[in-house]
């Protein structure tokens, strides 16, 4: 008879084998291999196209378009968490350099209404979108009538992220502040609607390549160097401007614990010395950085705002202004691939783990049509590199195009698939939906543009 190992030895052996076994089980549950199937062959792309067929844009030809505008403060008093840099871990700002606002444009052609909302925030948080969906419905509006955007300043208030990564980027969640922000946005809608008058609309653009760089690969040939803007002139002569630009609002550093709108705020303030009202929304900012020549300071903020003003203001008198009676809008729900928060070149966190860290929120493409001007809203940091293929397509369709980011959903950074293997923050840490995310959204932008070429009836609702 062979001697047997002591019971204590068997227990030690079992524990020795159990630990790596548990590790393997956890890894099998928490890690997946990356999927590089082209989006055009995917079920999620086909499903979104089917949704677009069923939920076409709402377009009407009504009376001469009325336009109104309004702004309200949304600034929480200090101390309150900042949002914008993960390394801050939601530290609180101690003072306010320049206040955060909601700036709203109201559009009405007698048959329907739509609203453009610009927030002095890092993004339009998904929690805020959900609250606005409910509040706008109570106010008698379809949530799709609200075109949401943000300036993407990295020194505005946080407190809007529910999950762990929301806390990292925006500090401790505050339902009270979320409710206050929601109420102020709804109030701004009411004020802008009340101030609406018959107005002319014009589109302009100007070069500002000296103020923006490609921070992903430093290639000057793949930058969006254009400031695009809308000019509105009411019948009584009051003028408003809505401007977009592709440079990240990251002039002020993470160590700066003072609330500020960064350069978009300085730009708007400088514009309002020349017009009655101004607003700013971040354009296609992914991979694009601001160029300035001083330190990361308020001096640089003011300088960049002043330089942008100097390239825009001379163009304002040259803008062709006209009345229009065409108004359209849509909010296209997106079916998304499984999220891929990458771990190296070939693997990513399992979706359930991603959702537990980041949350699981709906995304959509928003759009707004004002005469022959089409605005497209991305649920992301969307790369300006795509503008070179979108803008010519819009021109072929006799449209002037503006693309904005941070429309109330968030898919992370969306860059061209050719950058997928770069070992850079934008395509590694912040690329949430795999190799084809940017190409997928760009294809959908093109499909939405086509949908506006074939209007059907005023009764089409999303």
Has residue 150 got a pLDDT over 90? yes
Please check whether residue 180 lies inside any domain of the structure.
yes
Q: CB–CB of 441/184 below 8 Å?
A: no
457: confidence class by pLDDT, cuts 50, 70, 90: very low
Residue 219, pLDDT score: 72
CB neighbours of 86 closer than 8 A, spacing ≥ 6?
Answer: 168, 169
462: confidence class by pLDDT, cuts 50, 70, 90: very low
Residue 281, pLDDT score: 98
Report the 10 Å Cβ neighbour count for 167: 17
- CA dist 91 and 86 (Å) reads 10
Rounded (5°) CA angle 209-210-216: 70
Residue 308, pLDDT score: 98
Please check whether residue 379 lies inside any domain of the structure.
no
Q: For the residues 287-313, what does the mean pLDDT come to? A: 94
Residue 345, pLDDT score: 85
- CA dist 305 and 317 (Å) reads 20
Mean pLDDT for the chain overall: 92
Residue 31, pLDDT score: 87
CA gyration radius for the chain? Answer: 24
Q: Which residue has the higher pLDDT, 96 or 342?
A: 96
- CA dist 75 and 82 (Å) reads 11
Has residue 399 got a pLDDT over 60? yes
Has residue 461 got a pLDDT over 80? no
Has residue 5 got a pLDDT over 80? no
Q: What is the per-residue pLDDT across 252-295, written as a single tens digit (0 to 9) for each? A: 999 999 999 999 999 999 999 999 999 999 999 999 999 998 78
Q: What is the per-residue pLDDT across 348-368, written as a single tens digit (0 to 9) for each? A: 889 999 999 999 999 999 999
10: confidence class by pLDDT, cuts 50, 70, 90: low
Please check whether residue 9 lies inside any domain of the structure.
no
Residue 429 tokens, joined:
């840490």
Rounded (5°) CA angle 168-170-176: 130
Please check whether residue 353 lies inside any domain of the structure.
no
Residue 293, pLDDT score: 84
CB neighbours of 362 closer than 8 A, spacing ≥ 6?
Answer: 126, 333, 334, 409
Has residue 1 got a pLDDT over 70? no
Report the 10 Å Cβ neighbour count for 29: 11
Residue 330, pLDDT score: 98
Residue 247 tokens, joined:
């440079």
Top-confidence range, 213-217, 311-315, 416-420: 311-315
Has residue 135 got a pLDDT over 70? yes
Residue 349, pLDDT score: 87
Lowest-confidence range among 41-45, 437-441, 453-457?
453-457
- CA dist 153 and 157 (Å) reads 9
91: confidence class by pLDDT, cuts 50, 70, 90: very high
- Of 49, 127, 87, 7, the C-alpha closest to 257 is 87
Residue 269, pLDDT score: 98
**Side-chain-facing half-sphere of 444: CA atoms under 13 Å:** 36
158: confidence class by pLDDT, cuts 50, 70, 90: very high
144: confidence class by pLDDT, cuts 50, 70, 90: very high
Q: What is the per-residue pLDDT across 19-36, written as a single tens digit (0 to 9) for each? A: 564 445 555 578 889 888
- CA dist 420 and 38 (Å) reads 13
DSSP string, 14-68: HHHHHHHHHHHHHHHHHEEE-----GGGSHHHHHHHHHHHHSPPEEEE-SSPEEE
CB neighbours of 173 closer than 8 A, spacing ≥ 6?
Answer: 127, 159, 160, 161, 162, 166, 167
Please check whether residue 416 lies inside any domain of the structure.
no
- In the chain, what percentage of residues exceed pLDDT 70? 92
Has residue 112 got a pLDDT over 50? yes
Q: For the residues 307-319, what does the mean pLDDT come to? A: 98
- Of 411, 336, 408, 410, the C-alpha closest to 367 is 408
Please check whether residue 351 lies inside any domain of the structure.
no
How many residues are there in the chain?
462
Has residue 455 got a pLDDT over 90? no
458: confidence class by pLDDT, cuts 50, 70, 90: very low
Q: For the residues 432-436, what does the mean pLDDT come to? A: 94
Report the 10 Å Cβ neighbour count for 297: 14
Has residue 236 got a pLDDT over 90? yes
Q: How many domains does the chain have?
A: 1
Q: CB–CB of 324/67 below 8 Å?
A: no
Distances (CA, A) of 316 to 67, 107, 198, 304, 306: 18, 21, 19, 19, 16
Lowest-confidence range among 97-106, 341-350, 354-363, 391-400?
341-350
Please check whether residue 157 lies inside any domain of the structure.
yes
Distances (CA, A) of 411 to 100, 157, 203, 259, 405: 24, 21, 29, 26, 11
Has residue 307 got a pLDDT over 60? yes
- In the chain, what percentage of residues exceed pLDDT 90? 84
- CA dist 164 and 411 (Å) reads 17
Prediction pTM value? 0.93
Please check whether residue 367 lies inside any domain of the structure.
no
Q: For the residues 385-401, what does the mean pLDDT come to? A: 97
Q: Quote the domain boundaries for residue 152.
A: 61-318
222: confidence class by pLDDT, cuts 50, 70, 90: confident
Has residue 141 got a pLDDT over 70? yes
């Amino acid at each position: 008879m062979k001697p047997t190992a002591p019971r204590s030895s068997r227990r030690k052996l079992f524990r020795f084998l159990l630990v790596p076994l548990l590790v393997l089980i956890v890894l099998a549950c928490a890690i997946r291999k990356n999927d590089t199937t082209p989006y055009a062959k995917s079920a999620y792309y086909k499903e979104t196209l089917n949704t677009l067929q069923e939920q076409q844009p709402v377009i009407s030809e009504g009376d001469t378009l009325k336009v109104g505008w309004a702004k309200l403060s949304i600034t929480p008093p200090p101390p309150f968490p900042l949002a914008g840099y993960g390394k801050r871990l939601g530290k609180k700002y101690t003072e306010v350099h320049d206040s955060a606002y909601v700036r709203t444009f109201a559009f009405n052609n007698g048959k329907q209404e739509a609203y453009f909302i610009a927030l002095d925030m890092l993004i339009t948080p998904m929690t805020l979108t959900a609250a606005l969906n409910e509040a706008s419905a109570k106010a008698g509006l379809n949530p799709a009538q609200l075109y949401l955007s943000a300036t993407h300043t990295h020194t505005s208030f946080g407190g809007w992220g529910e999950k762990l990564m929301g806390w990292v980027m925006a500090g401790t969640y505050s339902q009270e502040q979320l409710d206050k922000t929601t109420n102020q946005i709804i109030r701004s809608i009411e004020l802008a609607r009340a101030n609406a008058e018959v107005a002319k609309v014009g589109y302009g653009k100007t070069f500002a390549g000296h103020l923006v760089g490609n921070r992903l690969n430093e290639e000057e040939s793949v930058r969006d160097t254009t400031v695009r803007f809308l000019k509105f002139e009411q019948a009584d002569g009051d003028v408003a401007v809505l401007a977009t630009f592709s440079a990240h609002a990251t002039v002020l550093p993470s160590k700066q614990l003072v609330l500020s709108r960064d350069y978009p705020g300085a730009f708007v303030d400088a514009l309002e010395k020349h017009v009655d009202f101004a607003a700013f929304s971040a354009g296609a900012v992914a991979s694009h950085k601001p160029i300035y020549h001083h330190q990361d300071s308020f001096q640089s903020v003011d300088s960049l705002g002043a330089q942008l003003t100097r390239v825009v203001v001379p163009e304002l008198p040259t803008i062709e202004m006209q009345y229009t009676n065409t108004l359209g809008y849509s909010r296209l729900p997106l079916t998304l691939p499984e999220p891929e928060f990458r771990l190296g070149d070939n693997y990513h966190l399992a979706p359930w783990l991603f959702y537990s860290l980041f949350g699981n929120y709906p995304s959509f493409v928003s759009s707004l049509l004002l005469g022959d001007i089409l605005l497209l809203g991305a649920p992301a940091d969307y790369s300006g590199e795509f503008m070179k293929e979108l803008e010519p397509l819009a021109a072929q369709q006799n449209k002037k195009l503006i693309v904005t980011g941070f429309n109330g959903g968030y898919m992370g950074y969306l860059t061209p698939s050719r950058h997928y293997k770069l070992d850079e923050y934008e395509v590694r840490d912040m690329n949430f939906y795999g190799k084809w995310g940017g190409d997928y959204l760009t294809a959908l932008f093109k499909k939405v543009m086509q949908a506006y070429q074939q209007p059907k009836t005023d009764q089409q609702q999303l």
